[in-house]
Amino acid sequence: MEKLEDYRTGTLDSYLNDPTFGKTFREILRFCTTPRTKDEIEKYVEKDLGVTYEKYKVFAGYFIGALEASGGLRWDKESRKWVATEVGKKAVS
């Protein structure tokens, strides 16, 4: 990814294979095979993955939005957590 793009423009495949953030997208999907709160995802992205772009911190909301828009992640109303969709799980299995 040459620059941070509007997350609504990509496909799940394009995000998972992105040279800059593909690994991060895949790791988040794996992390979310168990339902996670936004806070849990934020801590994971910041502390465990340490994601930056040109020395700037990249917020988890970018990854959540992109994965939701591309069909890899969904909001579970019952648990009030983010969870990988079946498509998302298959993409990283």
pTM: 0.85
pLDDT at residue 6, rounded to an integer: 58
Give the residue-averaged pLDDT of 8-35.
92
71/54 Cα distance (integer angstroms): 27
How many other C-beta atoms are found inside a 10 Å radius of the C-beta of residue 93? 8
Domain ranges of the chain: 7-91
pLDDT at residue 39, rounded to an integer: 95
Q: What percent of the chain has pLDDT over 90?
A: 66
pLDDT at residue 76, rounded to an integer: 97
Q: What percent of the chain has pLDDT over 70?
A: 85
Read off the amino acid at residue 4: L
**pLDDT(89) > 90:** yes
CA-wise closest residue to 48 among 71, 19, 27: 27
Report in angstroms the alpha-carbon separations of 37 from 19, 61, 90.
Answer: 27, 12, 21
pLDDT at residue 57, rounded to an integer: 73
CA-wise closest residue to 62 among 13, 19, 24, 14: 24
Output the furthest CA–CA distance in the chain (Å, rounded): 38
pLDDT confidence tier of residue 53, bands split at 50, 70 and 90 = low
- The CATH number of domain 7-91, selected from 1.25.40.10, 1.10.10.10, 2.40.160.40, 2.60.40.420: 1.10.10.10
